[in-house]
């Protein structure tokens, strides 16, 4: 689904190139593997960082997603579907970690600040997101931070689009309430 958008010019070349890389990967070509990693790692690490709010954990998840993607590359029916497939693996791995993290947070309830421009804002957002159930959190992040469409969120999370709508509605409302409590608006 992620690659079915209308491509033009350079994007078409990129798609064709990616198909070649995937085909070469199937034959065990390491140069093609490196090229695919270089192309997709930024997006995967960024998404994982947004979902997990931890840079190092995000890199681990991205690596795990690449390993799983390459291991199962033979199962792909369409070479052009690789990027979406990889993205789905990454999001699902993040959700698995969030599910485990939720239990940890109830015990320790600690949030580490990150480096970056708007540190205070990020720390507050991180604390607020940590209070949401992982399905709501992932849905909200994928829609608002990753700017995915409803269809894309539904596909990545493997749920019907109606569920995405209702989760987003609940997530926005709960996030608003948490935000008001935090900032005292």
Binding region for other proteins (CB under 8 A): 28, 30, 33-34, 37-38, 41-42, 45-46, 49-50, 55, 59, 62-63, 66-67, 70-71, 116-118, 121-122, 124-126, 140, 144-146, 150, 165, 168-169, 172-173, 175-176, 179-180, 185
Nearest residue (CB) to other proteins, 107 versus 185: 185
Give the integer Cα–Cα distance in Å for 182 and 166.
Answer: 24
With 0-12 CB in 10 A as exposed, 13-18 as middle and 19+ as buried, what is 171? buried
Least distance from C-beta 173 to other proteins, angstroms? 8
Nearer to other proteins, 38 or 103 (CB): 38
Q: Which residues of 98-118 are buried (b: 16+ CB within 10 A; e: fewer)?
A: beebeeeeeeeeebeeeeeee
Please, which residue, 107 or 115, has the CB nearer to other proteins? 115
């Amino acid at each position: 689904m992620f690659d079915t958008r209308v491509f033009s010019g350079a994007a078409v070349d990129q798609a064709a190139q990616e198909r070649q890389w995937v085909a070469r990967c199937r034959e065990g070509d390491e140069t093609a593997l490196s090229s695919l990693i270089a192309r997709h790692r930024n997006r995967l690490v960024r998404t994982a960082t947004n979902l997990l709010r931890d840079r190092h954990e995000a890199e681990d998840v991205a690596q795990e997603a690449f390993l799983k993607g390459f291991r199962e590359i033979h199962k792909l029916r369409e070479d052009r579907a690789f990027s979406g497939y990889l993205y789905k693996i990454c999001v699902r791995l993040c959700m698995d970690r969030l599910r485990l993290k939720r239990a940890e947070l109830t015990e320790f309830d600690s949030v580490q600040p990150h480096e970056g421009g708007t540190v205070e804002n990020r720390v507050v957002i991180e604390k607020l997101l940590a209070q949401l159930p992982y399905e709501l959190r992932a849905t909200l992040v994928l829609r608002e931070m990753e700017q995915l469409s409803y269809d894309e969120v539904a596909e990545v999370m493997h749920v019907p689009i109606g569920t995405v709508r209702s989760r987003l509605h609940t997530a926005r409302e709960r996030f608003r309430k948490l935000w008001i409590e935090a900032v005292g608006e």
